[in-house]
Amino acid sequence: MVAGPPAARRSTEQAWLITGPLAMMAVACCLLLAVAAAPPPGNLVIAGVLFLAMVAASAQVLQIVVQRQAIEVIVTEIPLVLAFYLLPPLTVVVIAVLAALIGQLRRRLSAPKVCFNLARTAAAVSLAGTVLVALPPLEGVGSSTWAALFLVVTVNALFNLVAISGVISLLHGWQAGWEVIRTAPAPQMVSAVNVVVGLVVLIAIDSNWWSVILIAVLVVAVVMFYRSYAQFLRQHRTLGKMYELTRAMTENGQTGNLADVLLGRIRELMQAEYGTLWLPAQGRHPEVLLTARLDDRGLLDVALTPAVLRQRTYDAGRTLSVGRELGGDAELRRELSDQRVKDAIVVPLRSGPAVIGTLEVANRLSDVGHFTASDIPIFETVAAHAAVALENSRLVDRLRHDAYHDVLTKLPNRRRITGALDEAVKIRAPGEVVAVLLFDVDGLRRVNESLGHAAGDKILVEVAERLRACAPSSALVGRAGGDEFLVTLRLENAEAALELAGQLRDQIRDEMVFDALTLDVDTAVGVAVHPDHGSDAASLLQRVDLAATAAKSVPGSVQLFNPALESRSLRRLGLAGDLRRALDEGALEVYFQPKVTLRDRRLVGVECLARWDHPTHGTVSPEDFVAVAEHTGQLGQLTEVVLREGLRRSRDWSHAGQALAVAVNLAARTLTDQHFPDRVRELLTEYGVPPQRLTFELRESGVLDGTDRPIPTLRRLRDLGVRLSVDDFGTGDSSLAHLRRLPVHEVKVDRSFVQGMATDPGDLAIVNAVVTLSQQFGLAVVAEGVESELTLELLQDIGCEIGQGFLFSRPLPYERLEAWFGAQVGPETISAGELPRLRVVP
């Protein structure tokens, strides 16, 4: 990844732009103090003691690192309170500057930093002294003295804060300066506590000089407090940043930018100038070497440290640390010094027992900062989390790759090609077409049958390799599935696509040798181009498949798609349009098939069945036009046409004294229409038919699909009083036990079992079990496909109640059904309130 432009950062030499004015301000304040304040030096013994106290106080330092600079919070306020009370202000300035000089030299800071800190100290103390001179003279250790000293030392602290913020803003920009201000409340609170402690010490000394002993004890306690507070700040910051790092890795583990988040935050957590991630090449994953540097917004693809550090850590599987506080191999320390690296920690990344890479940080920020042994456990903990996140990221990447690639050939699969095609057709390039070539391998089935599927797989892998090797570099080669391969790319025109298809086919036709066999493998090739043959990926893939199918009829040919190949699809589309017109014009006819009680052969109802006699195609099977209706959104209209006709005839029969029930078939998709029950209620009211005379028959696969989606609609229909029946029961994967959770009243045994009862004991046993269990569940049973007297007798023996089939009647149009009624039902057999009884069973 290419690094972004470095952040604005000036040389520390430019700190003179701040140091100079501070020095001049210090000189001016000192001249004012020399004129207006008490003459120096005052009591030299006290001055010497306070000088030593200031030197000792400067040894306890709290560091706050901003960018490359370390802001030091030094606990000098306690001796400063005593000094302003006991010594002339100008003497206080001198001993404060000398104590600061000793502290700066001890930490071996650079000359610009030493000068800035001395000028800052001189200006701050001299300004505080000037404020003290401007206030009323101090008299005793009363409340006015407390307030005056608190104000003076607070001015000193605030001025130091402003000066530090100013120089940081100059060197690193206003954002870094604002970071100093943002982190100031905690140090300023510590400064206020220091002043209070100093005042307490002053009061104790003023009361009794022997209190110095108690003060010494207090000093030890204060030192311990500062050390504990410094440790607390470090731990708090470390825990907070580790939490942020862990959360960021979790949130970005699947977005592809894990390395950006990981390295930047680890570098910040460890206060390092560089953070580097190295993952050696593994499988299809190439080597990764990325570095986050303090002054760069992006990642570098190089590392500052020598490669031997990472290789040693990877080989040994142990943490490697090199630096002034860490020790380490002398040769490595020299190499790091040559690279201007003062210290580095390299930690192995583990996935179980295996090492998958390394994570390293180099160059602790600030001139005085160094990595220590206490940083290693923290970094190792971070590395453990990082290893898990990286492994999970690779796992997600592997799963994503597998989802879009064929396992056998490693080529992109149909999903990946479809997505690429969708993107390709969005870009129109004048003088170019998007070509899709489909290669269908001939004779693969015979190879599988003769030599086994392993040989067939070898052929597929070989074809994939040849296509990948021979196709232009701009082409996307993939496996569509089975024995089909797809190639898509941009070409000048369809003729160029045909020429390329022929060339690739010739390359594939070369002999393939497997063990002792030499095979001649040929392919049929279909070609389609955008925009001539389709505007999207779906239509292009559909039409190139039609072209490849046509190419199979002429062995070894290459076929360009043409509209004549789509006649089959066009016929289906035409059928959909004709169905819409037939529904609108009432061209569909409803036939009725009687349902009869098997014991006494009384007519109890009819099943309503739609029939369509197409003027061109002849009789269209219900399966065909129902499927077309489902796919074209005409299913609701088709269902209503049949339902209206059934209710109208039921009303007419009721008026004629024949209270026959009607059954209407429902498709599973109708049950997802939440308005359907309301429409049924309206139609029942419109035709004045009692709800119990209407039965809806639903296929077993539609209501027992393993979900609860149809149940709400079924319950609403049941609440209307409509009867519900499960049609074709036994053909699915469900059982009668599943019916217990459905609000159904009836089960229709599929005709395949009923027709086999007389010859197959298994079918007889199935029907017997369905009848017995259904009756135990309180369900009525209807047997479909009753076509013989023997079947009728067997059904009577096992207690089946109702049947329908050709033994009684075929489905009949209304006029023929009326005639059938007249021939089969005698008027003398109909009594008041009694169902008609069949007189003759043909």
- What's the mean pLDDT in 576-597? 88
Q: What is the pLDDT of residue 1?
A: 36
Q: Which residue type is seen at 815?
A: E
Whether the per-residue pLDDT at 488 is higher than 50: the answer is: yes
Residue with the bigger pLDDT between 182 and 840: it is 182
* Buried residues in 189-223 as b, exposed as e (16+ CB within 10 A): ebbebbbebbbbbbebbeeeeebeeebeebbeebe
Question: Confidence band (pLDDT; 50, 70, 90) for 529?
Answer: very high
Place of tokens 């007519």: 603
Q: What is the pLDDT of residue 7?
A: 43
Q: What is the pLDDT of residue 4?
A: 39
Report how far Cα 369 is from the mean position of its chain's Cα atoms: 40
What number of other Cβ atoms are within 10 A of residue 741's Cβ?
A: 10
Mean pLDDT of the chain, nearest integer: 80
- What's the mean pLDDT in 560-583? 74
CA distance 640 to 664: 10
The per-residue pLDDT for range 108-150, each reduced to its tens digit, is: 667 777 888 888 888 888 888 888 888 888 877 777 888 888 8
Pairing of strands 746-749, 780-784: parallel
Distances in Å between the alpha carbon of 637 and those of 317, 571, 695? 72, 22, 18
Half-sphere exposure of 620 (CA within 13 A, CB side): 26
Q: What is the DSSP string of 399-436?
A: HHHHHTB-TTT--B-HHHHHHHHHHHHTS--TT-EEEE
Q: What is the pLDDT of residue 575?
A: 76
Distances in Å between the alpha carbon of 437 and those of 195, 459, 494, 743, 801? 84, 19, 11, 52, 60
Residue with the bigger pLDDT between 711 and 661: it is 661
Percent above pLDDT 70 for the chain = 84
In 3-state terms the chain splits into helix, strand, coil percentages (rounded to 5) of 55, 20, 25
Question: Confidence band (pLDDT; 50, 70, 90) for 478?
Answer: very high
The per-residue pLDDT for range 145-195, each reduced to its tens digit, is: 888 888 888 888 888 888 888 887 877 777 777 777 776 676 777 777 777
The pTM of the full predicted model, rounded to 2 decimals, is: 0.44
CA distance 254 to 286: 18
Residue with the bigger pLDDT between 829 and 697: it is 697
Q: What is the pLDDT of residue 712?
A: 85
What number of other Cβ atoms are within 10 A of residue 10's Cβ?
A: 12
Place of tokens 């014009």: 585
Helix (H), strand (E), coil (C) string for 816-839: HHHHHHHHHECHHHCCCCCCCEEC
Q: Which of 524, 526, 464, 527 is nearest to 491 (CA)?
A: 527
Whether the per-residue pLDDT at 250 is higher than 80: the answer is: no
Q: What is the pLDDT of residue 2?
A: 38
- Going 714 to 716 to 719 to 722, the CA torsion angle's sign is negative
Structure tokens at 462: 């070989």
* Buried residues in 87-104 as b, exposed as e (16+ CB within 10 A): bbbbbbbbbbbebbbebb
The per-residue pLDDT for range 750-804, each reduced to its tens digit, is: 888 898 888 888 888 889 988 888 888 888 899 998 988 898 999 998 989 999 9
CB under 8 Å to 720, separation ≥6 — which residues? 677, 680, 681, 684, 691
The per-residue pLDDT for range 418-460, each reduced to its tens digit, is: 989 988 888 877 889 999 999 988 877 777 767 778 888 888 8
Q: Give the angle subtended at the CA of 837 by the CAs of 833 and 841, to the nearest 5°.
A: 165
